[in-house]
A and B are shown apart, each in its own frame.
Chain A
Amino acid sequence: MEETLKSLANNFKEKEGNIISLLQETQDAFGYIPEEAVYWFSKELDIPASNFFGVATFYAQFYLKPRGKNIITACCGTACHVKGSDRIINNLKRELNLADEQNTTEDKKFTLEQVACVGACSIAPVVIINKRVYGKMSTDKMARELKVLKEGSDE
């Protein structure tokens, strides 16, 4: 880990020194932003840790906790909303046994995210499963896809 952090910090020093870019690169490397990475940067770069946390908690894209193996992103844009994205999300939560504020399953196999709009409104409702966009989703179709993923991740 230290090696990676060092190269990221060097990158940061050479360029214009942008906290957002540093956090984006950190997340690319680890899949999330580990707390210890923030403290390490804080010491190394002499920037208060609160600055990092301030930025990391401000933007929706940053995760301070590890995420699941499969990432399901449900679009909650207006078009998706009026075409029933709520129901898809509620079903998913139930199927994945996720509590209200929880978005990653205990076994770390699934993360369910909600985003404001992925801009594919004419094929609403939209769900993105592991970076692939699925349009005109229904609770049935979603259940089928989830079954495939569950079988795949058991192997």
Chain B
Amino acid sequence: MNKNITIQVCMGTGGIAAGGLEVLDAFESLMKEKNIPAEFKKECSMHKVGCRGLCARDVLVDVIADNRRTIYQYIKPEMVERIVDEHVVGGNPVSEWQVDEDYHKFHEKQVKVVLSDCGNIDPEDINAYMAVDGYKAVEKVFTSMTPEEVIDMMKKSGLRGRGGAGFPTGVKWEACRKAEASQKYIICNADEGDPGAFMDRAVIEGNPHAVIEGMVIGAYAIGASKGYVYIRAEYPLAVERLKKAIKDAKERGFLGKNIFGKGFDFDIKIKLGAGAFVCGEETALIASIEGQRGMPRAKPPFPVHRGLWGKPTVINNVETLANIPYIIKKGHEWFSSYGTEKSKGTKVFALTGKVKNTGLIEVPMGITLREIIYDIGGGIEGGKALKAVQTGGPSGGCITPDMLDINVDYESLAKVGSIVGSGGMIALDEDDCMVNVAKYFLQFTQSESCGKCVPCRIGTKRLLEIMDRITKGSGRQGDIELLEKLSSDIKAASLCGLGQTAPNPVLSTIKYFREEYEAHLQGKCPAKACREMLTYHIIEEFCKGCGACLRACPAGAITGEKKKPHKIAPEICIKCGACFDVCKFKAVGKE
């Protein structure tokens, strides 16, 4: 496809939701039209790409003409004609639709390893992956390296598991290599269950072949002939692209029998997860592949010794595997030149919440949180004040604005009571109630507790009940101390990571925002976010009597004549906030 004009349309889940399919269709049908000169039709190719990171600006379209890349944002199908006329044919980019400085700032401090080809190649085309040296790492490994050399390289690179625990990949592989068995397995853990995290989805949607290539290399290193990808059914697009990628890789001989004529067989099957967060835990994941309830068991024995169907099994996360081809191709020195002493390489984060630029980012380990929030994220939306950054999802904790200069790596985040986790990073502003956020995470872990251990099953339930009454204004004196006591019991007595970390959001918010808990006990939610503790009223001097709130109120609690201040009847009000949303004059107040 050596053509001079390439048009790339972003089509990850975000891109498709914003209308990516229609935009690509519009390009394709326009380019077929008669009035486009034939020489342009010949010169021009177009294809979809995976996630570009800044999904909030979708649909993003790149036009690369004579090696000059122009990036357009917020593109709708009806805008395509002008781009074709003026830019593709006319040679003059449409300047007002191009991305602004924010877009460039968003990318400036990022370092892309895992995502280097994501958003640039067509994820459904194996040729596109091979054109950027795809499957060259497998070729190198099979033709010039022994499994021990591969493991040694991983150890030297310092790569650690990106799923959350941060265990060194090379060490895990070595343990499995040394285990003696007739059959071994490698599993790709794509059961990305943390709410607020979508790194793995984006990697699979944007570059599925890199994950497959990583798996083939891992299989070779440990001596596994069978692999599974355990992926969430909630990610239909990722599943579809992965299926196609596996089929294509098989046809080219990168999977299947006798790979590169070396007598090594390896095949990958896809297993759809059935929706259980706990299955992200290794032993629960194995139980789920075996068709049982996904409940964790005690370790040791570790899966590298006794895993799937009792055989030695390595389980690696998507991002970990996607790193591997690049390490093999570029060398361990190159990889370990990024990052800190103990945390090497880069990490992909899902930056969301109240920052201006939300999206998928990849940064070198050790970057400061301030750089992520203010340089990449562009600061907080609407000029509000940052209150906290929550990392690590339901197992993680909060970082307050005065700690923004800490380095983002495994060790530094652990020191302040949070974790890198799988990579969710959510910015909260002054409108967010920390007690409510902690309750939110607890609701999640409570409903996802598998029920095996009493401290987790019943403890999280009791924790949630206490949090619930606090956010409803009926908290009791001593509740904060009770939360702390119960939390430490749950942490100490639960078997798996879910229970051991479930109280973290509560403990971390108590530690840094104790005064918010105390305010709730006195009947006030400082952020005005806890619904049950609010009352709505109309501020007479601002109310124009337009009647918008009256029409919006589902409970019929608002009365008033046209052009005269309205009134909310507190005994009828269901506190839904519809009037607050709809009022253009800021005449609805909440206390």
Cross-interface CB contact of B56 among A54, A115, A123, A134, cutoff 8 Å: A123
Check B274 against A24 for contact (C-beta < 8 Å).
Answer: yes
Q: How many residues in B have their beta carbons less than 8 Å from beta carbons of A?
A: 60
Cross-interface CB contact of B195 among A16, A76, A139, cutoff 8 Å: A76
The 10 A-B pairs of least Cβ separation, nearest first, read A119-B198, A78-B196, A59-B274, A60-B275, A18-B291, A79-B352, A77-B195, A117-B195, A122-B55, A61-B275
Binds B, one of A35-43, A86-94, A104-112: A86-94
- How far apart are the CA atoms of A78 and B197 in the complex, in Å? 9
Check A119 against B393 for contact (C-beta < 8 Å).
Answer: no
Check B17 against A120 for contact (C-beta < 8 Å).
Answer: yes
- How far apart are the CA atoms of A86 and B437 in the complex, in Å? 12
Measured between beta carbons, the chain A residues less than 8 angstroms from B426 are: 78-79, 82
Check B291 against A20 for contact (C-beta < 8 Å).
Answer: yes
- How far apart are the CA atoms of A134 and B358 in the complex, in Å? 17
Measured between beta carbons, the chain B residues less than 8 angstroms from A120 are: 13-14, 17, 55, 198
| 16 additional A-B residue pairs with CB within 8 Å, beyond A78-B196, A121-B196 | A24-B272, A58-B294, A58-B450, A61-B233, A76-B195, A78-B352, A78-B441, A79-B195, A79-B358, A117-B194, A119-B201, A119-B202, A120-B13, A122-B360, A123-B58, A135-B18
- How far apart are the CA atoms of A17 and B293 in the complex, in Å? 15
Task: Using known A-B contacts A119-B235, A122-B360, determine if residue A82 contacts B354 with beta carbons closer than 8 Å.
Answer: yes
Measured between beta carbons, the chain A residues less than 8 angstroms from B55 are: 120, 122-123
Closest A residue to B444 using CB positions: A116
- How far apart are the CA atoms of A30 and B105 in the complex, in Å? 50
Least CB distance, B266 to chain A, in whole angstroms: 18
Count contacts between A and B, CB distance < 8 Å: 141
Closest A residue to B581 using CB positions: A139
Check A19 against B292 for contact (C-beta < 8 Å).
Answer: yes
Closest B residue to A138 using CB positions: B581
- How far apart are the CA atoms of A61 and B358 in the complex, in Å? 29
Check A58 against B276 for contact (C-beta < 8 Å).
Answer: yes
Measured between beta carbons, the chain A residues less than 8 angstroms from B351 are: 122
Check A78 against B14 for contact (C-beta < 8 Å).
Answer: no
A32 at the binding interface (Cβ < 8 Å): no
B2-33 Cβ-contact flags toward A at 8 Å (1 or 0): 00000000000110111000000000000000
Check A115 against B234 for contact (C-beta < 8 Å).
Answer: yes
- B385-406 at interface with A (beta carbon < 8 Å): 390, 393
Q: Which of A60, A77, A91 is most buried by chain B, counting CB atoms within 10 A of its CB?
A: A77
Check B291 against A19 for contact (C-beta < 8 Å).
Answer: yes
Least CB distance, A89 to chain B, in whole angstroms: 11
- How far apart are the CA atoms of A132 and B197 in the complex, in Å? 20
Measured between beta carbons, the chain B residues less than 8 angstroms from A117 are: 193-198, 234
Closest A residue to B290 using CB positions: A18
Measured between beta carbons, the chain B residues less than 8 angstroms from A67 are: none
A21 at the binding interface (Cβ < 8 Å): yes
Closest A residue to B529 using CB positions: A82
Task: Using known A-B contacts A91-B554, A121-B358, A135-B18, determine if residue A116 contacts B195 with beta carbons closer than 8 Å.
Answer: yes
Measured between beta carbons, the chain A residues less than 8 angstroms from B198 are: 117, 119-121
- B173-213 at interface with A (beta carbon < 8 Å): 192-198, 201-202
Measured between beta carbons, the chain B residues less than 8 angstroms from A21 are: 291
B91 at the binding interface (Cβ < 8 Å): no
Task: Using known A-B contacts A18-B290, A59-B294, determine if residue A82 contacts B437 with beta carbons closer than 8 Å.
Answer: yes
- B149-166 at interface with A (beta carbon < 8 Å): none
B288 at the binding interface (Cβ < 8 Å): yes
Measured between beta carbons, the chain A residues less than 8 angstroms from B17 are: 120, 123, 126, 132-135
Cross-interface CB contact of B578 among A23, A55, A62, A139, cutoff 8 Å: A139
Measured between beta carbons, the chain B residues less than 8 angstroms from A123 are: 14, 17-18, 55-56, 58
